Amino acid sequence: MKTDLILREKLALERTHMASRSTFLAFLRTSMYFMVAALSLNQLLEIPTKNMLIIGLAIGSILIFIYGLFTFIKEKRWIEAQRKHIGCYQLTYENTKKNPL
């Protein structure tokens, strides 16, 4: 039973890590969409404020990418910090079993 709980905890962390990767890829995809929109507007629009719009989309693209990267790194560090706690409940359980206060 103890190994089942440890395996369940490890699998939960793996699912969390895969969800974090998927979220980062969604941020990357959105950032690329913004950059493609900025580059394609150069060819499509003939308005005087086109350059400001292109710069705004490019800056938005960069900010979205940086935010997604920052979030991914933060989540990865949190997941790695949680890995060392897998199975710690066993020590607590065994100590309370020996000293039932």
Tell me what pLDDT residue 4 has.
Answer: 64
CA distances, 87 to each of 1, 22, 36, 51, 65 (Å): 12, 27, 47, 57, 36
pTM of the model: 0.71
Distance CA 61, CA 56 (A): 9
CA distances, 94 to each of 5, 29, 53 (Å): 15, 48, 63
CA 19 from chain centre, in angstroms, equals: 7
Does the pLDDT value for residue 1 go beyond 50? no
Helix (H) or strand (E) holding 43: helix 2-44
Domain parsing of the chain, residue ranges: 2-98
The pLDDT tens digits of the residues spanning 24-49 come to: 999 999 999 999 999 898 888 788 88
The pLDDT tens digits of the residues spanning 63-90 come to: 999 999 999 999 989 888 877 766 665 5
